[in-house]
Homo-oligomer: A and B are copies of this chain.
Amino acid sequence: MDAIQKSLLEQVADLHEVPEGAYNIRANGQKAARNTTANIDIVSKEDKDGIDIIIKPGTKNESVHIPVVLSQSGLQETVYNDFFIGEDCDVTIVAGCGIHNCGVQNSEHSGIHTFYVGKNARVRYVERHYGEGDGMGENIMNPTTVVEMDEGSYMEMETTQIKGVDSTVRTTKATLGPRATLIIKEKVMTHGKQLAKSDFTVDLNGEDCHTNVISRSVAREDSKQVFLARINGNAKCHGHSECDAIIMDNGVVAAIPEVTANCVDAELIHEAAIGKIAGEQLIKLMTLGLTEKEAEEQIVNGFLK
């Protein structure tokens, strides 16, 4: 891997060296490196681009890193990654995509990730998207995440899109079995003429299952964001969704949650708030010696932390 690819890796996966545990690094559409462990197998798909990640039942405190970097302008790829997480596992999965595009053509990565989370398994899934490059070509990422959660399983998804992604449609569909819990934390910052759309659908099908979908977003300059969150309570369940957005400059944010109780024992709550940074907050920091710009940065960083 070259210096640009290494720097992208740092941005999306906090990786300076090859990671510990299992990993699969994809660079410019090719397998750049792979490691498997006694409990975690990674197998290339034969019918299409992508990998199967198979985690043995009972695997604890292990991690899988599967970052993707694109530094070749104009590359467009769709990759299918399937995660089979055995019963009683407790694992961390780190995915991410970094694009460096200095050309005039669009670069595009669409990852379709499907998680089969076994009984009583616990998964922490971290996904980070980052783009850079001063070319005219756009950086486009359309991640799809499908989650099927078995009885008593727990999954925490942290997705972050910090910078440089020109266009993204993020689709997440989850189905929860009995006593399953899904926590989704999304952070999106857009700038320039970027467009970001997040589209969540969570079906609360199992008795006593629970979801919490939390979105924090900042839209700067002329960027646009749309946040859709559909929560369907089809059983005795708890569902909560909240969307907090800061708008700056000419940024536009639309929040469209949809909560539907199809069962009398479903409890669903939604909250959304959109607004600019409060003047008092800015003034407080400015009296401490910060410029208006610095004060804004500090507030935005704290908000997205």
Could you tell me which A residues sit within 8 Å of B by CB distance? 233, 245, 247-262, 264-276
Give bound CA distance, A276 to B271, whole Å: 19
Cβ contacts under 8 Å, A261 to chain B? 245, 247, 252-254, 274-275
- Complex contact B269–A247 (CB within 8 A): no
Cβ contacts under 8 Å, A245 to chain B? 261
- Complex contact B275–A257 (CB within 8 A): no
Known: A268-B272, A270-B273. 13 other contacts (CB 8 A): A252-B260, A253-B261, A255-B257, A255-B260, A255-B268, A255-B270, A256-B258, A257-B270, A261-B275, A266-B275, A268-B273, A269-B273, A270-B271
Cβ contacts under 8 Å, A276 to chain B? 264-265, 267
Chain A residues touching B, majority SS? strand
Our pick among B250, B265, B274 for the contact of A259 (Cβ within 8 Å) is B274
- Complex contact B259–A272 (CB within 8 A): yes
6 A-B contact pairs sorted by A residue (CB < 8 Å): A245-B261, A253-B260, A254-B259, A268-B274, A269-B272, A269-B274
Give bound CA distance, A253 to B261, whole Å: 5
Give bound CA distance, A271 to B253, whole Å: 17
> A213 → chain B, closest Cβ, in Å?
13
